[in-house]
Copies of this chain bind each other. A is one copy, B any other.
Amino acid sequence: MNLVALGTIALDTVETPFGRRENILGGSVTYFSLAASFFTKCGVVGVVGRDFPSEHFNVLRRRGIDTAGVEYADGDTFRWEGFYEYDMNQAHTKRTDLNVLASFDPKIPKEYKNCKYLFLANTDPEIQLKVLNEVKPTYSFCDTMNYWINSKKEVLTEVLSKVDMAVINEGEARQYCGTPNLIKCGRTLLDSGVKKVIIKKGEHGALYFSEGEFFTSPAYPIENVVDPTGAGDSFAGGTIGHLAKHGTLTDADIKKSMILGAVIASYVVEGFSIDAIKNKTQADIEGRYREFRKIVAFDHQMQ
């Protein structure tokens, strides 16, 4: 397998100023793998309950995603319920039901081992470490969340130092590093042993830090954000999927891939769940990528 992703598959209940949807397809690895599927084959490691509608799998499989690593467990699927207020920047959690996720012990299909690229979405860093050690990928990436920074910082630090790149959001970066300045956060993370790091800033874009490089990218501007859920995971999926397609991890490739990740995330937020992305084509992605190049270009000659 070229790319493998570990994460959650969820049934979300989401309310935004544009409406309310109940038990819609969500979860980090859902968004990640769908975004990555525009560029490469992706195998998914996760768990669902007996109540999980099988048509959701059809959506993933139609996009060439391999679901051999998804376990059906007794019990209900992981559920998240939340809402976004007027400004849409902040998700407010109303309820989280771990259900089958509570006792999830990832089983890695044989054909996923020694994959080229591995993404560890936010989960218990001990599980991230276990999967990392078992899969033994060429290149690995991880995300995390405030909960683990608070409760398991030491194990998390071990994970961060072992992966090739951390992909985290600005709140987590600030919390982990203990400083509000994101440029300082980037340096702090590199100093503490992280090889490369992307800090996601939502509607304000993303920053990339490696030993020899710094890169700042705006987000693709969206006038009608319907549901921001999954934007960060889609950005990671587009970025890492594009990298996996091209097979290298140079600074130059990472920067271009981040723009493609931003393009895919910009489609995702235009609808609830995966509605706005599931039928997009390669031509859509390329069209918006060309548009992106246009709206950030400034380097012409003045007289």
Contact = CB atoms under 8 A, between A and B. Distances in A.
Interface of A: 86-89, 180-184, 187, 201, 203-205, 207, 214-219, 221-225, 246, 252-253, 255-256, 258-259, 293, 295-300, 302-303
B180 A86 contact: yes
A303 B252 CA distance: 12
Contacts of A296: 215-217, 296
A204 B207 contact: no
Contacts of A201: 204
Given A181-B225, A255-B300, 10 more contacts: A87-B180, A182-B203, A183-B222, A204-B204, A204-B205, A215-B298, A217-B298, A252-B300, A256-B298, A256-B302
Contact of A205 (B88, B218, B303): B218
B214 A246 contact: no
A84 to B, nearest CB: 11
B223 A298 contact: no
Contact of A183 (B204, B223, B258): B223
A246 B302 contact: yes
A303 B215 contact: no
Given A183-B223, A223-B183, A295 B256 contact: no
B299 A256 contact: yes
Given A88-B180, A180-B88, A223-B183, A298 B218 contact: no
A272 B225 CA distance: 38
A302 B223 contact: no
Contacts of A183: 221-223
A218 B199 CA distance: 14
Given A181-B223, A218-B205, A293 B299 contact: yes
